[in-house]
Amino acid sequence: MTNDEIRAFLQQAIDENPVMLFMKGTPEQPACGFSMRTSGALNSLGVRYAALDILPDPRIRQELSGISNWPTVPQLFVNGNLVGGCDIVTEMYESGELAELLGVDQPAEEPAAPAAEAPQSAPLGLENRLS
């Protein structure tokens, strides 16, 4: 795959999925703590989302950063717009802003940084055709 094809695939994933998470690893097996916390926030809200592992090819991360102008991973997009990375998503989760943005109810208990847990509703799987 060329870099242009990778970029087009990533842009299509952002455009077609209302909630799109680019992460290291998968929601079931995050490959870093930041990706674990970000997917954990979405999982605890019961949100359906698509996720794509950026690790199989370094060009994925390069092209993603070219699209988003954001250097780090994970990256969360909602309705085609970059929300941010782990720190921003975690802060938004804790304040209730993330639940509001996603149109879901904040969990009744005192919000804290989410721990790793299995998704309550299975994330949408994106076939990684980039490797």
Taking a C-beta distance cutoff of 8 angstroms, is the pair 16, 49 a contact? no
CATH topology of domain 3-103: Glutaredoxin (3.40.30)
**CA 109 from chain center: how many Å?**
23
What Rg value do the Cα atoms of the chain yield, rounded? 14
Q: Which pLDDT belongs to residue 131?
A: 45
19-37 pLDDT tens trace: 999 999 999 999 999 999 9
> Among residues of the chain, what percentage have pLDDT more than 90?
79
Q: Domain coordinates of the chain in residue numbers? A: 3-103
Average pLDDT of the chain, as a whole number = 88
